[in-house]
């Protein structure tokens, strides 16, 4: 028999999961599918379950000078309705699942599920987001790249809970989100892309790119992105092939039911090239 518990506070939840025997359930939109049983029978959980969605203290969105802070139990629909959230992030979220799912699904769940095709992750990687993780004994704040380490693999320990997602406040005037899926709604990405750039007086001051579904985690390479910084927009075309050549070895998609690796690789390169070409003359 497994135990099902619904704590009322974060402290209570941390005490309950401290022995490491519990599975955390937020919106349940991934977990209920992963543990589904045959038709008309309840999902089969083989581990104790701690339900987090009642934790009102983890439902918030605030902003200070440096970060937007999103509490772990904030649902995608709540994020969509906040005036503090950048429009590009709202574009990403509108492409996640359907409205019904988004009323339950959380950003923390998307992170902990650690799918290379997780849509919100593409934006969080491009923004160099930080994740605040708490256990009874300590709190740690890590870059998202140190939390997600492989398909469905994270560094979150069984006695830890994601408490908050911190998105740096940065100005990007040129933003693009593209989700290539098998159909318009309710689709898992074949390839996804976020491009962000800041241009001042025709000089590229900052840029950041991230890709979903083409590597073992969402792919972002800030060291490569930096090679474009300082270019005049008229120089982007000359530098394009060299820049794409730096990214190419990292674009390592797989063949699966949704798509094949050659298609994915070519689409990812085309999306990057298209975004950069559009920056010319800005």
Ligand X SMILES: Cc1cc2nc3c(=O)[nH]c(=O)nc-3n(C[C@H](O)[C@H](O)[C@H](O)COP(=O)(O)OP(=O)(O)OC[C@H]3O[C@@H](n4cnc5c(N)ncnc54)[C@H](O)[C@@H]3O)c2cc1C
Least Å distance between CB 155 and ligand X? Answer: 11
* String of DSSP letters for 60-74: -EEE-SSEEEEETT-
Least Å distance between CB 262 and ligand X? Answer: 23
Least Å distance between CB 196 and ligand X? Answer: 19
Helix (H) or strand (E) holding 167: strand 161-168
Nearer to ligand X, 48 or 233 (CB): 48
Distance, first Cα to last Cα, the chain: 62
Tell me how many helices (H) and strands (E) the chain has: 11, 13
Nearer to ligand X, 79 or 236 (CB): 79
Least Å distance between CB 33 and ligand X? Answer: 5
Q: Check if the beta carbon of residue 154 is closer than 8 Å to that of residue 108.
A: no
Neighbours of 135 (CB within 10 A): 16
Q: Check if the beta carbon of residue 51 is closer than 8 Å to that of residue 25.
A: yes
Nearer to ligand X, 23 or 169 (CB): 23
Nearer to ligand X, 86 or 118 (CB): 118
Nearer to ligand X, 108 or 272 (CB): 108
Least Å distance between CB 25 and ligand X? Answer: 5
Residues that bind ligand X (CB under 6 A): 23-31, 33, 52, 72, 96-97, 101, 104-106, 108-110, 112-113, 118-119, 156, 161-162, 186
Give the residue closest to ligand X by C-beta: 109
Least Å distance between CB 200 and ligand X? Answer: 33
Nearer to ligand X, 114 or 197 (CB): 114
Least Å distance between CB 57 and ligand X? Answer: 12
Structure tokens at 264: 């994915």
Distance CA 224, CA 245 (A): 10
Distance CA 59, CA 207 (A): 31
Nearer to ligand X, 78 or 119 (CB): 119
Q: Where are the alpha helices (DSSP H) in 86-221?
A: 87-94, 99-102, 107-113, 119-126, 144-147
Distance CA 16, CA 23 (A): 11
């Amino acid at each position: 028999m497994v135990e099902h518990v619904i704590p009322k506070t974060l402290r209570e939840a941390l005490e309950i999961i401290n022995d490491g025997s519990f599975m955390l359930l937020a919106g349940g939109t991934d977990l209920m599918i992963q543990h589904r049983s045959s038709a008309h029978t309840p999902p089969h959980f083989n581990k104790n379950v701690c339900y987090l969605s009642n934790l009102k203290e983890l439902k918030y969105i605030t902003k200070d000078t440096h970060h937007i802070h999103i509490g772990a139990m904030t649902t995608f629909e709540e994020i969509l309705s906040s005036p503090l959230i950048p429009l590009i992030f709202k574009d990403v979220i509108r492409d996640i699942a359907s409205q019904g799912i988004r009323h339950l699904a959380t950003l923390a769940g998307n992170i902990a599920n650690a799918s290379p095709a997780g849509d919100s992750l593409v934006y969080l990687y491009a923004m160099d987001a930080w994740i605040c993780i708490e256990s009874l004994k300590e709190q740690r704040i890590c870059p998202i790249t140190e939390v997600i380490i492989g398909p469905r693999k994270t560094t979150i320990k069984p006695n830890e809970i994601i408490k908050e997602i911190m998105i740096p406040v940065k100005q990007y005037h040129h933003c693009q989100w593209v989700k290539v899926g098998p159909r318009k709604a309710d689709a898992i990405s074949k390839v996804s892309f976020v491009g962000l750039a800041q241009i001042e007086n025709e000089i590229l001051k900052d840029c950041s790119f991230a890709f979903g579904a083409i590597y073992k985690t969402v792919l972002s390479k800030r060291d490569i992105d930096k090679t474009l910084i300082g270019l005049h927009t008229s120089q982007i075309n000359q530098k394009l092939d060299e820049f794409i050549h730096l990214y190419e070895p990292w674009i390592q998609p797989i063949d699966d039911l949704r798509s094949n690796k050659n298609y994915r690789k070519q689409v990812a390169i085309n999306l990057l090239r298209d975004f950069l070409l559009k920056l010319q003359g800005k």
